[in-house]
Structures are given as C-alpha cells and as structure tokens.
Chains A and B, each alone.
Chain A
Amino acid sequence: MPVDRCEYVAHVPLHPEFLLNKLAFARARGLPLFGVDEAESKSSSREAKFDFYLFPSRCVRVQVVKEPGQPLARLTVTATPSRVLDGHNGHVLSQDAFHDFGAILMHYLTPLVSEPSSVPDLFPGLRSGGPTRWTYLELLLHVRDVGGMVFQKLRHASHTDIRVPSRCWDGESIELGRDKGNIQFSIYYKAPQMRKKGGHLAGVSHEFDDILRLEVRLRGPALAKYLEIGPNVEEWTTTTCELVRGKFIEKTEVEKRLVRFTCEDLFRALRKLFGELRGVWPSDMVLEDPKSLEEMGRFLASEACLSGRSLQELRSLMKTYLGKNWDNTGRILKAAQAELERQGLRFEELFAESTFQFQPGVSVPSVECGVKYGPEHIGVPWEITQAYTPVDQGFRPHVTFPPYFDCHHEIATA
C-alpha cells in the first residue's frame, strides 16, 4: 500500500473515565499513551479539546473535540503506518502490512469507546454509510535515480491545478503546491532526508542515497476526485437550517467522502496525478506561434537546464523584471515547456507496473528491531481485510515478508 502519512476523522462516544483522567485510564488498560496536549482555549464552550499520542515515537496523534451536550466526540487520527510498524517511514508498505496497521490502531483505540456498537466507526470503510472518512493521504512511489536524471527533469514540472511556482532545494527536494492545498507534490531523496532528522535515523546507510521518493499529498475534495473508483467514495448528505429574511430555509449539501481504497486504486491515482504534470513527459503539444517565440522558448528551456534554475524560477524572474512589457510571456513559456517535454522522461517507463511492484526501500535494522507494539499478537479484523483488498484479487503468494516480521522472527530464533 503506497501510503505514508494519513489522516481520518471519526465520530465515536468516548469513555467518560478517559475524559476525566487520561493517564490513569490508559495505565489501567495498558494503552501505549505517551503524551497528552490540552490546548489553550479562548472560550470554555467546548467540553473537551485535547490531543493524545500513542506509541513511544508518538507516531499516532489523535485530536479530540467534544462539544457539550453532544454524545459523540470528533476524533482526528493522524498516523504514519510504516512508522507504527517499522519505527521509520523508509519502506513502502505491502497491502497486508496496511491491514496490520489498521488492526493495531483498532486494537488500541477500542478501549476508549464507551459503546461496542461504535467500534467499527474507529477506522474508515468498516461500516457502510458510516461517518468515518479519510481526510488526508500521502501517496508515494520509490524509484532508483542513479545520476539524478529523474530529479533534474522533475525540477521544471508544473500542474494545471497548482498556481504557485515550484520550490526547489538544490539536489535535495522539490515541492510543488501549497502546504495546505488540496494537491501537493513532493519529490526528494529519502535516505538523506531521514539522516537529516538525526537521532536513531542518523545512521541510515549511504547505499540508499539514490532512492527518490515521488510523493503526492491529497486533501479534501482531491481525495474523492482521484480515488473515486467503485465503492471507495460515499455520498454524505448534510442538511442545515438557515435563517434568511426571517424565514428558516433548509439547505442540503452533498459531500463526497473517501472511505476505503486498495493498492491498485492508489497506483492508479499516482499515475494519473504524475501524468498531469507539464514540462516533464513528452506530449503532443502543437505550437502555432511564430518561429521567433519558439526559438526564445527553446533558449529559455536550455537556460533552465544549464543555469540550475527551474523553468518556474526563470518565469518568476522574467515576470518581475520584464513585467507588463513582456507581452508574450505565456507563449514563450509554452514553447519552453514544449521543448522540455521533448527532452523529457518516459512516463510509461517510470510508472510501469513493475516499478510499483518492486519498489526499493530504506532499511534501518536498529530502528526496526526496537518496535515494541508490533502486530504479532493482534488479529486483523475481517472488515479491514475486506475493505482494503480488491474484490477481484486473485491468489498472491507470499514472496516477501514485511521487515518487522523478519526482524522479530530472527530475534525469536536467536
């Protein structure tokens, strides 16, 4: 399952004892609670508003908001599945490992729920028509980029839905899109990024330095837009009452919510999103501009490659200095983009089926062996397996085991 950090929202009734004394409740039930942040509030209108963290690395954060008089509390769960299972996020998870992640989360969150009937609402997709839904997903693909060719070409990328120019940290990472936007692309070398964090990850081996992570962060409506396949998206109708000119008017809004997905859906979304990038892949763009503009565009494209600046950066520069007087900005840039696309990467090669199946990962054995709350003694609920497995998936023999499994197995045999 090529997913990194993810976030979902659930509405469940919380145990009153937990709301009263979180630490004592967690201690009594053996929950791996490792932090509670009670936010400062300007008004006391909320009955409870706090965040709590699970596991020693605090890799699962649950934000709780409970309004007075409401039976259900709103839980916003933010977690990185690979950090829960391996202690770091250098691996690409398998489908089964994602099921394990769901099982672990359910296992430790279930004691917090006061009514057993609400337990399926703790994870999205387990109850059809339920209120729980995904709100943020990071999809990823790892590729080997020996020589940095893929990274250099992706520097000039742009996307039709993203207005802000890309940001680039030389030779390290590229970011396209706003931090809080619905779509954001992030392309970076995973191993150096992990080493920068320091601590246990400072010792990541240099043999993984050429692993390039192509990541897309989806939020809000973009989730439903790119992952709306089969039963993945459910429609949620909200009816509100508004007072307009002294009369109450009912207002009905239909929202599309992502409630489940499969590996194949995520791969398909990744292909679609990266396929929409401009200035990277060869396209059949036909230029109808005069030859001089085409030449200027070609010159700009070649300068973008030679000067170490992205086309977006050069565009900003031209806009700042030549401003209104540079009437043909759009057409010149289009020509430059066409030139870059002509020399671009081969999409079908980079996003081939085999690339998805055999993705390299960053391994840190010292961290993976230290994972304390693994999935060994937790059974995966059948609802999770059903929701996050393709309906028509045939028999898949186990050819690789997840790293945490190997690690624990080795310890046991030793």
Chain B
Amino acid sequence: MKSPQHNRGGPTVRLCSLVISTKVRSAAEFRLSDTEFDRPRGTGLVGHPARKTSLKAEREPSGKKTGKMVVRMKSTFHLIEYGAIVVTTRRNESDDWIETIKLDPALALHRNSSHLLHDGDLARARALLKKLCSPMVADAADVCHLVPSACPKHREPVASIRSIDCELWYPSIELAHLHSLRHPEAGSSRGRKQNYARLVPEVTEAGDGVGAAVGSKPPVPRSSGCSICLERVSRRSDGLNLKVSGLKICLELKDDALTRRVRCQPGTMAKVRDKMRVVHLELEDVQRVCREVVSELEGFYLPVPPEWSANPGTSKLARMIALIAATTERTPDEVVMNASAGRQVCRRTARRLEKAVREEMNLLKKLPLAEALNIPASEVVDTSRCNQPLATAIDPQVAAVCGPGTTSH
C-alpha cells in the first residue's frame, strides 16, 4: 500500500513536526511539582524538564527603566518520548501558561521519527496530544484550546498552528549538481558546505536604498519565516542490501509565510488573537504547500553527462572550460580566451580548443531546478521503511486513546 505521504506526482513529503501556539493556564499542582503531578495522572512526562530563567530590567510604557528586575521563567516538558510532544510553559508573575506545543506525529504515534504518516494519523496524534496534556490545564473548559480547530463555535479560538517542519526526499539527485540555488523568500545558498546548504537571507539596505545616507535604516537581514536547508543523504539500508543516496530538503514555514500559503484552502484559517491564522491542516495541505515552496526554488541542475562518466576523453582542458563556463557567469569565449592567453598557442590549436569546448558544452544539459525536482513518484524509494520493526505496531498509548482495533496502516 502506498502511503498518502507519497506525493502522487512528485517526491516523498514527510511532516516532521508542527508547532501549536496557544495560551492556556496550567494547573497549580503541576506548577508546584511536575514529577509528583505526573505520577497519578499519567501525562507521560519524560525525564526532567528544562527551565530557563532570565532577568530583565523592568521598563515603563515610555521605555524608561524602573530599577526593578523582572524574572521570567520558561519550562520545557517532553511527553511520551524526547521530542514527541514538547510543551513549553511560561511563568507570568503568579501563573504558568502553556504557550507552545510541538508535536512530532510520527514519533508520538509510532515511536519512530522517520515513519511516514498515513491518512488519519494526524488526527490520532492530535487526539493523543489532547488526552495527555488535558490534566496539565487548570480549567477543564480550556482543554479545547490545546489543539487548534477543536474549539467550539461559541468560544473564541486561542490555539493556532504557528509553524510546520517538513522534509522532502529526492533519491536520485546529488546536492553537488545543484547550482546558483536561491529562493525568493528564504535567500541564497552562500557559504554552502559540500554536503549541506542552507539558504540564508540576503542583507537588504532598507529605507531609500542608499544604506549610508543619514537617517536611513541600517541594513537588516530579511526574516521571512521560510527556511530551507538542502542536505546530501547517503544511507545504507541493510534490509535491502542497497545504498541509497539522494537529496533531502528540510523546510520550515512559520507565521505569515505559512498563513500566506494556506490561506486559499477553505476551513484552514480562523481569526485567532485578532489575526487570521492557520488552525487546521491535513497531510494533503502540507504536501501542497511544500511542493509550492520547492517549485519556487531558483537555480539549475547540472548532472554529470553520461559521456563524461563513460569516456575519460582526451581534452581535459576543454571539459574544464565547459564546466567553468556552465557554472559561473563567465562566457565560454571569455574562458577560452583566458586559457589560450597564457599558453602562446597557434591559431589552429586555439580553433581546435574552441571546437572541443563547444562539443563538451553540448553534452552539459542544464535543467531548471523546479523541473528537476519534480520527479515522478514511481522513482521514489522509501528508505525510511526499510528497517523499521516498529512500523506496523501502533503504540499502546495511541490504542488506548483511539480504540483497540486501530492499526498504523
């Protein structure tokens, strides 16, 4: 059976995690002692929570310091397993508030982060989250604010989906063959490593365009809420005795970048805290959004010509020139001229070199990146399912929430 996360016309899209933003008062007993609280209630607390305390100078509304210090405390709790459900609370004077919940549906349901999700898995993960986190909430009526879209119509919604983190897997593409990578929102791949490239925002000169002008704003990096990383993956699958290498694109969309892309889908948005925010997402929406972002990637894909792999060739210089001309902004003529200049060659040799370069250039086939990344699903190899004994067994906690007959497929 093909997983719904297998995109029908493209790569495998895996939803790694989603972050829910909310504001719910947590139970007083939980605040006093989280471990004591967990024991009878079974919230699935793992290990000891992380606590961050920061002290900052208190300021008046005018911005003037009052001389007092404000203590802020942020705590992070992990439920079921490290990273499966991560609840962050913030202490505000007298109360603790649950502010963000990070959910890794695959890890929460299957105890395996790389497990592909199926239809209904997201709903099951949401139900599990609601069940485990509800004892932490001070007022039982506020439990509906733990999961977005679970809020009854007569109440004002508080929870929304702040960000999603996804992975796209391309088994046949090498990162080294991608050039001039750029995305209109995420930036360009300056300073990329051999096996890893992060698109970083470019510094823009705000204001009137003259950065040094008096009164203009200083240059600031653009923060668009869209973050893209490309990683070369090489994995050995013992079960199939097969080495799979390819490209993994990690995508994080948050705040406005996510809202902008989801907006057109009915039932996904609602007015939360005076702003239209994402409250409901299905796997298909995630796939569509990811595909859309990846299709906007600029740059080109230049695979190694089969002729180059098969035949070492006689003219190394011609290949070097063709390669430099194809991957930089220099024209073939410029590069040929530069190569001939230092060698004191006769006209005949120069003409021969030009001809050889033209031939090699014809072998190099540049493809626009968006086109290259649109690989049919039939070519996709699902490596995440190669050696997963846990993949078929549903977690007992999930079974307890969703019924004993539930399966992961």
Contact = CB atoms under 8 A, between A and B. Distances in A.
Contact of B190 (A44, A169, A298, A299): A169
Nearest to A299: B339
A321 B323 contact: yes
A192 B221 CA distance: 12
Given A165-B194, A306-B330, A322-B308, A40 B47 contact: yes
B120 interface: no
A299 B203 CA distance: 33
Contact of A326 (B56, B316, B324): B316
Nearest to A314: B324
A40 B194 contact: no
Given A38-B51, A317-B327, A325 B191 contact: no
B396 to A, nearest CB: 21
Nearest to A39: B50
B47 A41 contact: yes
Contact of A307 (B48, B308, B324): B324
A37 B51 CA distance: 6
A36 B53 contact: yes
Given A37-B50, A198-B220, A303 B82 contact: no
Interface in B60-111: 71, 76, 78, 82
A306 B327 contact: no
Interface string A286-330: 000000000110111011001111000010111011110110100
B78 to A, nearest CB: 7
Interface of B is mostly: mixed
Contacts of B218: 195, 198, 202-203
Contact of A325 (B47, B53, B203, B312): B312
Nearest to B324: A303
B317 A309 contact: no
Interface string B204-240: 0000000010000011110000000000000000000
B220 A299 contact: no
B76 A40 contact: yes
B325 to A, nearest CB: 9
Given A164-B193, A196-B219, A316-B176, A307 B78 contact: no
A170 interface: yes
Given A42-B82, A322-B316, A299 B338 contact: yes
Contact of A40 (B50, B317, B338): B50
Contacts of A165: 194
Nearest to A204: B218
Given A42-B47, A198-B220, A318-B320, A295 B313 contact: no
A36 B313 CA distance: 63
A374 interface: no
Contact of A295 (B46, B221, B342): B342
Interface string A263-303: 00000000000000000000000000000000110111011
B192 interface: yes
Contacts of A38: 50-53
A35 interface: yes
A404 B339 CA distance: 55
Given A41-B48, A195-B219, A303 B55 contact: no
A34 B72 CA distance: 10
B33 interface: no
Contact of B71 (A23, A195, A325): A23
B338 A303 contact: yes
Interface residues of B, number: 51
A302 B324 contact: no
A206 interface: yes
A9 B39 CA distance: 38
Interface string B284-324: 00000000000000000000100011001100110110011
A165 B177 CA distance: 17
A59 to B, nearest CB: 14
Contacts of B193: 164, 167
A296 B320 contact: yes
Contacts of B319: 321-322
A328 B56 CA distance: 61
A56 interface: yes
A33 interface: yes
Nearest to B311: A325
B308 A167 contact: no
B329 interface: yes
Given A42-B47, A175-B191, A325-B308, A35 B219 contact: no
Contacts of A23: 53, 55, 71
B47 A299 contact: no
Given A23-B53, A40-B76, A164-B194, A307 B328 contact: yes
A314 B338 CA distance: 16
A318 B342 contact: no
Contacts of A302: 338, 342
Contacts of A195: 218-219
A323 B313 CA distance: 12
A232 B38 CA distance: 52
A167 B192 contact: yes
A150 interface: no
B192 A306 contact: no
A325 B329 contact: no
A168 interface: yes
B44 interface: no
Nearest to B217: A202
A393 interface: no
A322 B323 CA distance: 9
Contacts of B317: 296, 299
B265 interface: no
B386 interface: no
A43 interface: yes
Contacts of A306: 330, 334, 338
A325 B338 contact: no
Interface in A369-391: none
Contacts of B191: 167-169, 173, 175
Nearest to A203: B218
Nearest to A49: B48
A33 B176 CA distance: 47
Contact of B57 (A56, A164, A323): A56
A321 B304 contact: yes
Contacts of A39: 50
Interface string B326-348: 01111000110011001100000
B54 interface: yes
A342 to B, nearest CB: 13
Contacts of A40: 47-50, 76, 78
A202 B221 CA distance: 12
Interface string B5-48: 00000000000000000000000000000000000000000111
Closest 4 A-B residue pairs measured CB to CB?
Answer: A40-B50, A325-B312, A307-B328, A202-B218
Given A299-B339, A303-B330, A321-B308, 9 more contacts: A23-B55, A38-B51, A40-B49, A168-B191, A303-B338, A307-B328, A322-B316, A322-B319, A323-B304
10 contacts: A35-B55, A38-B50, A40-B78, A198-B220, A302-B342, A303-B338, A306-B334, A317-B323, A320-B177, A325-B312
Interface of B: 46-57, 71, 76, 78, 82, 174, 176-177, 190-194, 203, 212, 218-221, 304, 308-309, 312-313, 316-317, 319-320, 323-324, 327-330, 334-335, 338-339, 342-343
